[in-house]
Structure 1
Amino acid sequence: MKVQTPVSKERLASLDILRGFDLFMLVFFQPVFVAFARHWQDVPVFSFLLNQFEHVQWEGFHAWDLVMPLFLFMVGAAMPFSFEKYRTNPDKAAIYKKITKRFFILFILGAVVQGKLLSLDPLQIRIYTNTLQAIAVGYVISAMFLLHLSGKWQLAATFLLLAGYWAFLTFLGDFTPEGNFAEAVDRAVLGRVRDGVSYAEDGSWSFSDNYHYTWVLTSMVFGVTTMLGVFAGQIMKNGKDKLKNSRLLSIIGVALLISAWLLSFQTPIIKKIWSASMTLWSGGLCFLLMALFYYIIDYKGRSKGLNWLKIYGMNSIAAYTLGMVINFRSVANSLLWGLEKYTGDYYSAILTFANFLILFFILQLMYKLRVFVKI
C-alpha cells in the first residue's frame, strides 16, 4: 500500500465520480438515511425507500443489492487504463508483483473489515466473507485475462466462467438457501472459518441457518462482474467517439438486462449466491449507470455539482475501510452528549450522521492534500 499524489491525465472523470457515488451511498447516505427514516417508516414513501436500502432475503433485487456488484464493476472499468503499460512490456515480473501484492492486501483488509481478524481469536476469525476479498479475486481473474488473452478470448473466457457457474448451480443442486451447490462448496471448503459459524460452550460448532452468502465457487462470477467492468473500460478507452461509446454502453446494458430477465425463468435472481441471472442483471444496471455518468460527465462535460464525489471515488479503499472499521461515534458522543435529552430517540441517528460526517471531512482533507491511498 502506498500514497500517491499525482493524478493520471488519462483518468476518466466519470469513473471517479461513479465510484464516488457508490462509496457515498455505502459510507454516508444509506446508514444516515436508514437511521433517520426508521422513525418515519409508517409513511409509505419512507417504507418503500427503507426496503430498497436493505438486501433481498433471497430471490429478487433491491437497489442496495447493486452496491457490491458496482464496486467490482468499477474496479474492472479502471483496469484497461492502468494495465496498458504492462501489456506491451515483455517483463511481466512487475505486474505479477503488483497483482500478488494487491490481492493479499485486499484479502487482509477484508478480513479486518468483516472477518474479525483484529479480534486475534482463532475461533472468531472468518477467512472469506467480504467485498474487498471478492474484489481481490475478481481483480486477479481479470488481470490474467487482460494480460494473456486477446479481446475475443477475453469474451469467450468470461462467458465460460458464467456458463460454468450456471451449470454447477443448475445441475448439482437447486436454488434454495440450503440446497444450492455454492452453499455446499462453502461449507465443505471453509468449514469452521465460514462466516455465520457459531460455537457452543463444549467447543462444538455449527453453521447458521440464516447466513447464506457464498464466496468460494461464487468467485467465478466475481470474475465475470469485474470483467464486465473491463469491457466497459475498453469501450471508453478505445472508442474515439464518446457519444457512440455511451450509446454502446447503454445497448449492452439493456441487452444484459433482457438476458437476465429471460434467464430468471430458469435461474432466479439471487444476490446472496450471485446467480448467473443476478450477474447479468446487476451487470446490465452497472453498464447503464456507467453510460449515464460517461454521457453527462465525459461527453457533455457537465460535472458541476458532482465533482465532490471524487472525494470518495479517488480514495475508495480508504473510504470503505475507514467507514467499516473505525467508529467515530465515540468522538461525536463526546462532543454532542448534551443534546441527548433534547433529541430523544433521534440522538442515535444524529451520532450516525456525525460519524460519517467526520469520515467525510477526513477524506476531503486527503483529497485537498492530493493524498490518494493506492494498493
Structure 2
Amino acid sequence: MKTQHQRSQAIDVLRGLTVALMIMVNMPGTPATTYAPFLHAEWHGLTLTDLVFPTFMFVVGTALSFTLEKYEGMGEAAVLKKIFTRTALIFLCGFLMYWYPFFSTEGGSLTVLPLSGTRIFGVLQRIALGYCAGSLILHYWKEKGALVFAVLALLGYWAVMYGFGDYTLAGNAQRKLDLLVLGEAHMYHGEGIAFDPEGILSTLPSIVNVLAGYFAGRLVRRLGASYETVAKLAMSGAVLTVLALCWSSVFPLNKKLWTSSYTLITIAIDLFTLSLLLYVIDMLGKRGWTYFFEVFGRNTLFIYLFSEVVATTFFLFKIGDLNVFDWIYLNLFRPWAGAYNGTLLWAVVYMLGCWLVGYVLDRQKIYIKL
C-alpha cells in the first residue's frame, strides 16, 4: 500500500489521458467530417468530448490534494502569494492565447491587434479561476466548508439559471450576465451569437469539479491503491450518477451551460475512471502502456498551450487558398483515408506531435509549471 505522501501513477495517467483527448477533440481536420463522439453535444446531451474539460478541472483538484499540504507550512502571506501568482499566470496565458498573434499586417503595415475584440474568458482562464477558488475554499474553510460550498454552489446556480432566464442558447442567465459585464465583443461567437461557454456564472459549478478531484486525491493518498479505495470511488460515482440523472429531468445535462446535473455526471464518470485506473495500474501492476500518458501529465498545461498556439499559427498562414491546417488535412490525409478517417488520423497525428514535444522535455527532465 502507498504511503500518504506517495503519488498515484493512476492519477498521473488520468491527467495525461485528458490532455491527449483534449488536443484531439480540439484539432479535427474539419468538424463537418468528425465522428460524433469527438464533437460536443449540439446543446443538451453528453458526448465523449463533453467529458474532457470537466476531467481537466477534476485533475486540477487531485493535484491540489498534494500541493495544498505543502503550502500550509509556508505562512499565510506565502500561501496567498503562491495561489494568486499561479492563478494570474494561467489566466494571462489563456488571455494572450486568444490575443495571439498580437499583430496584424493588413493594409501593408504592422499594427497591434486591438484588445477591444479579444475574448476574456476561456479554457485556461476557467482552470485558473477553478484552481484559485478551490485553493482558497480548502485553505480557509477546510474540507467540511468545501462540501457545504459544493452543495450551495450547485443549488444556487440552478436557482439563478431558473429564476433569471431559461435553458436556451439565447435566453440563459449566463449569457445575460456576460453581455452585461463583459460585452459582446469579449465573448465567444462560435455558436452563431455572442455566448461564452466559459463565462462568469458557469464558473461557479465548475469549481465543484475541482473540489471533487481534491477529495478523490485525498482518498487515494489516505488509503492508497486498495480495494477499499476503488470501492469508495466507484460507490460515490454510482450515487452521483443517480442524482445527476434525476436532476437532469428538470435541469438538463448541458456542457455549454455547465449545468449542475452535468457537473455531477462528469464527476461520477471521473470517479469511475479513476477507480478503474487504480485497479489496473496500481493494484494489478499493468504499467507497460502508461508512459505515453505520463508524458502528457508531466507538462500538462504547457503542452495544451503549445497545441493551441501551434494550431493558431497553422490557421494564420496559407498555401494557396487554404490555411496550413486545412491544407494538411485535405492533401495529406483525406485523399487516402477518406473524409471521416482522415479527420481522425490528422487529429491523432497532431496529438502525437505534441506528445513528442512533451517526450523531449521529459527526457531532458524539464517540467514547465504554469
TM bracket, shorter-chain basis: 0.7 to 0.9
The alpha-carbon deviation at position 91 of structure 1 amounts to: 1.2
Aligned to 1:127: 120
- For the pair 1:165 / 2:157, whether they are aligned, the reply is yes
Of the three residues 266, 275, 284, the one matched with 2:259 is: 275
Structure 2 counterpart of 1:171, one-letter code: G
What's the counterpart of residue 305 of structure 2?
321
Q: Is the 8 A contact 2:209 2:263 kept in 1?
A: yes
Q: Deviation digits for residues 229-283 of structure 1, max 9, x if unmatched?
A: 1111111112256221111111111111110100011101111010111111111
CA distance in 1, matches of 2:5, 2:260: 36
Alignment partners' CA distance in 2, 1:9 and 1:175: 44
Whether 2:367 is the aligned partner of 1:372: answer yes
User: In the TM superposition, what is the alpha-carbon distance from 1:210 to its structure 2 partner?
Assistant: 6.7
Match of residue 150 from structure 1: 142
Percent of residue pairs bearing the same amino acid type: 25
2:247 match: 263
Q: CA RMSD, aligned part only?
A: 3.1
2:174 aligned counterpart, secondary structure? helix
Aligned length: 344
Equivalent in 76, 86, 102 of residue 61 of structure 2:
76
Deviation digits for residues 56-88 of structure 1, max 9, x if unmatched? 11111111001100000000011111111223x
Q: List alignment gaps of at least 5 residues for structure 2.
A: 104-112, 318-323
* CA 1:306–1:187: 2 relative to 1, 3 Å: same
1:306 match: 290
Given that 2:23 and 2:307 are in contact with CA atoms closer than 8 Å, whether structure 1 keeps it comes out as: yes
Q: 1:340: how far off?
A: 5.0
2:356 paired residue number = 361
**Is 1:22 aligned to 2:40, yes or no?**
no
Could you tell me how far 1:160 is from its partner in structure 2? 1.1
- For 1:83, give the aligned amino acid: L
Give 1:19's aligned amino acid.
R
**Which range moved further: 282-291 or 70-79?**
282-291
Structure 1: which 5+ runs fail to align?
1-7, 42-46, 199-206
Question: CA deviation digits over 1:91-147, x for unaligned, max 9?
Answer: 12222111111111111111133355735322331111x211111111111101221
Tell me the TM-score normalised to structure 2 length: 0.83
Q: Is structure 2 residue 226 aligned with structure 1 residue 242?
A: yes
C-alpha deviation, 1:343, in angstroms? 7.4
Residue of structure 1 equivalent to 2:7: 11
Residues 159-308 of structure 1: matches in 2 within 5 Å? 159-196=151-188, 208-209=192-193, 211=195, 213-240=197-224, 242-308=226-292
Q: How does 1:49-60 map to 2 (within 5 A)?
A: 50-60=35-45
Distance 1:296 1:356 in 2: 24
Seen in structure 2, the aligned counterparts of structure 1 residues 317 and 18 have a Cα distance that, compared at 3 Å, is: same
Kindly tell me: are residues 167 and 116 of structure 1, through their superposed partners in 2, closer, same or farther at Cα, counting changes over 3 Å? Answer: farther
Match of 1:201 in 2: none
